[in-house]
Amino acid sequence: MADDKHQAGVESSAISILKRAVELDNSRRFEESMTCYQEGVGLLMQVLKSVSDQSKRQKYRQKIEEYLKRAEELKIFVKVEKEASKQHSQIQVEANSKGHSYETLFGQYLNKYVSVVEVDDPYIRAHHQVQNFLRLCELIVRKKCPVKSIILNTGRDEDMTSQQQQHQKLLGIGKSLQGLGIRLDINYSDTLHDREIRLDTGWVIKIGRGLDIYKNCEKFAIGFCDMELRPCHETTVDIFHRKAVKSSPS
Tens of pLDDT, residue by residue over 47-101, are 888 888 888 888 888 989 999 999 998 888 888 777 766 778 899 999 999 999 9
Averaged confidence pLDDT in the chain: 90
pLDDT of 196 over the 90 cut: yes
pLDDT reported for residue 4: 62
pLDDT reported for residue 6: 66
Interacting residues of 64 by C-beta distance below 8 A, sequence separation 6+:
41, 44, 45, 48
* pLDDT level of residue 188 (50, 70, 90 thresholds): very high
Radius of gyration from C-alpha coordinates of the chain: 24
pLDDT reported for residue 249: 33
- Residue that wins the pLDDT comparison between 112 and 122: 122
pLDDT reported for residue 122: 97
pLDDT of 245 over the 70 cut: no
What is the average per-residue pLDDT within 235-239? 96
Of 43-57, 130-144, 230-244, least confident by mean pLDDT is 43-57
pLDDT reported for residue 250: 30
Alpha helix segments (H runs only) across the chain: 2-26, 30-49, 54-84, 102-106, 127-142, 160-178, 242-247
pLDDT reported for residue 248: 34
What is the average per-residue pLDDT within 143-152? 96
Cα(218)–Cα(233) distance, rounded to whole angstroms? 16
Q: What is the pTM of this model?
A: 0.74
Interacting residues of 101 by C-beta distance below 8 A, sequence separation 6+:
107, 226, 227, 228
